[in-house]
């Protein structure tokens, strides 16, 4: 008898011929995530099992697995040699407080003469003898005790089914460059694309000394939190002060943010291409602020030459985004007060519906811009982000 954790796959089942590729990638991601623990991963019959761990760390292992995309659900289970007579004696002592239960049996081992229903009835009866205060409720039980009888003379018994995020294994959908600010939205955007299997790299524009060292540290911390979901990644920190000063010097006040976002996207695409990324990712949501109207988005889009800009939050309300950010643990860090570079040099009345031709004219006013961009890229600092 041994404690194990059953790990079920999600959507990767659907992938036909590529199934092997997805499974292997998921196995690699699970092993990476669990590398901090002393345990093994075994694979059999479309499932993984975490085995040979100290039961004291079981809840930590489960919490880590819940952040691995591609996993549908996990169940802590007891693994034992198949013996219907012994099931009740094994499970009854570890059941949590509950007044009603049912037993559900899955019998892959067809050498057993009894049907699944007969086995469930037998085990249910045995449990009632050991737990006379409990009663059976087949329709709405407090507890469902699952007995999974596999072909190889092994049974798994469990009563918990812990839902995970599902999604696709990170690395199965290419690589994206996330524009990571210190705000609430962009970490959520990174999380959502990682959930669809994207490997994440990130870029942050900072305007030291107009923005503080803490603002950069906050972004690093946000990176560390999302790396719990998407694995290690490089964060490209771009010195943006000289460019912001040039925008301030040459551009119409109401177009400053528009032009700043054009340049951010342009630099991001250049760095993304150098890192073999296939997309840019932002935390924009339609109409949330002046720079996120359809007209503003049209202007920013005009600065990319070959990569798509993915905006996974485009249709979401702020309250929905905040809900996810609380769920993934980035919220408390995002609301720390340090400013990101967008909030300095902020015009009082930014243009809400910028015309592309005017935006381009404002952009063209900046003397020596290409050199400033080259310099910013040359002086990028690369921070290796790891989960904590």
**What does the binding site for Mg ion look like in residue numbers (CB under 5 A)?**
181, 183
Residue in the block written with tokens 């964060």: 235
* H-only helix segments in the chain: 19-33, 58-65, 87-91, 116-130, 185-195, 213-230, 241-250, 256-274, 294-301, 318-327, 331-334, 356-364, 369-378
Yes or no: say if 157 and 105 are a contact pair by the CB < 8 Å rule. no
What is the Cα–Cα distance from 215 to 260, expressed in whole angstroms?
18
3-state secondary structure at position 185? helix
23 binds, among ligand ATP, Mg ion, none (CB under 5 to 8 A by kind): none
- Phi/psi region, residue 199 (left: phi>0; alpha: psi -120 to 50; beta: rest), is beta
Would you count residue 291 as binding ligand ATP (CB under 6 A)? Answer: yes
Among 29, 284, 354, 362, binds ligand ATP (CB under 6 A): 284
CB of 238 to ligand ATP, least distance (A): 8
Among 23, 340, 354, 373, binds ligand ATP (CB under 6 A): 340
Would you count residue 191 as binding ligand ATP (CB under 6 A)? Answer: no
CB of 383 to ligand ATP, least distance (A): 13
For ligand ATP, which stretch binds (CB under 6 A), given 93-101, 142-150, 340-348, 375-383? 340-348
Would you count residue 104 as binding ligand ATP (CB under 6 A)? Answer: no
Q: Which is nearer to Mg ion, 181 or 227 (CB)?
A: 181
CB of 123 to ligand ATP, least distance (A): 52
DSSP character for 142?
S
Residue 244: both structure tokens together: 């912001």
Exposure pattern of 141-165 as b/e (b: 16+ CB <10 Å)? bebebbbbbbeeeebbbbbeeeebb
Yes or no: say if 200 and 178 are a contact pair by the CB < 8 Å rule. yes
Residue nearest to ligand ATP (CB): 183
List of residues 6+ apart from 319 with CB closer than 8 A: none
288 binds, among Mg ion, ligand ATP, none (CB under 5 to 8 A by kind): ligand ATP
Query: Which of 63, 21, 303 is CA-nearest to residue 164?
Result: 63
Would you count residue 260 as binding ligand ATP (CB under 6 A)? Answer: no
CB of 195 to ligand ATP, least distance (A): 17
CB of 367 to ligand ATP, least distance (A): 23
What is the Cα–Cα distance from 316 to 136, expressed in whole angstroms?
44
Among 179, 200, 267, 271, binds ligand ATP (CB under 6 A): 179
Would you count residue 265 as binding ligand ATP (CB under 6 A)? Answer: no
In this structure, are strands 47-51 and 135-136 parallel, antiparallel, or unpaired?
unpaired
How many residues belong to the site for ligand ATP (CB under 6 A)? Answer: 20
Q: Which is nearer to ligand ATP, 30 or 262 (CB)?
A: 262
Q: Which is nearer to ligand ATP, 123 or 342 (CB)?
A: 342
Chain contacts with ligand ATP (rule: CB under 6 A): 179-181, 183-186, 203-205, 282-284, 288-289, 291-292, 340-342
């Amino acid at each position: 008898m041994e404690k194990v954790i059953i790990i079920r796959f999600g959507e990767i089942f659907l992938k036909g011929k590529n199934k092997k590729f997805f499974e292997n990638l998921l196995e690699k991601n699970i092993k990476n995530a669990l590398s901090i623990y002393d345990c093994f991963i075994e694979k059999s019959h479309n499932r993984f099992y975490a085995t040979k761990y100290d039961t004291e760390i079981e809840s930590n292992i489960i919490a880590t697995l819940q952040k691995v995309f591609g996993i549908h659900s996990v169940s802590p289970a007891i693994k034992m040699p198949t013996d219907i007579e012994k099931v009740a004696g094994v499970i009854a002592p570890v059941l949590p407080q509950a007044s009603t239960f049912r037993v559900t049996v899955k019998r892959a081992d067809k050498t057993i003469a009894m049907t699944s229903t007969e086995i469930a009835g037998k085990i249910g009866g045995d449990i009632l003898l050991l737990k006379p205060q409990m009663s059976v409720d087949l329709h709405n039980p407090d507890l469902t005790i699952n007995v999974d009888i596999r072909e190889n003379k092994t049974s798994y018994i469990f009563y918990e089914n812990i839902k995970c995020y599902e999604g696709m294994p990170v690395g199965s959908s290419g690589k994206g460059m996330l524009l990571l600010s210190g705000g609430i939205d962009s970490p959520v955007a990174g999380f959502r694309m990682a959930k669809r299997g994207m490997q994440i790299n990130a870029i942050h524009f900072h305007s030291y000394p107009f923005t503080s060292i803490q603002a950069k540290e906050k972004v690093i911390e946000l990176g560390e939190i999302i790396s719990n979901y998407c694995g290690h990644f490089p964060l490209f920190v771009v010195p943006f002060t000289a460019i912001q000063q040039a925008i301030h010097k040459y551009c119409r006040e109401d177009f400053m943010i528009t032009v700043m976002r054009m340049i951010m996207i342009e630099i991001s695409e250049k760095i993304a291409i150098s890192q073999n990324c296939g997309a840019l990712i932002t935390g924009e949501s339609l109409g949330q602020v002046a720079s996120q109207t359809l007209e503003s988005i049209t202007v920013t889009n005009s600065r990319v030459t070959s990569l798509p800009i993915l905006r996974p939050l485009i249709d979401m309300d702020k309250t929905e985004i905040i809900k996810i950010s609380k769920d993934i643990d980035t919220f408390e860090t995002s609301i720390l007060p340090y400013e990101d570079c967008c909030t300095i040099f902020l015009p009082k009345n930014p243009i809400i519906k910028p015309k592309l031709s005017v935006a381009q004219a404002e952009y063209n006013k900046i003397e020596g811009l290409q050199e400033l961009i080259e310099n910013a890229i040359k002086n990028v600092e690369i921070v290796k982000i790891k989960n904590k």
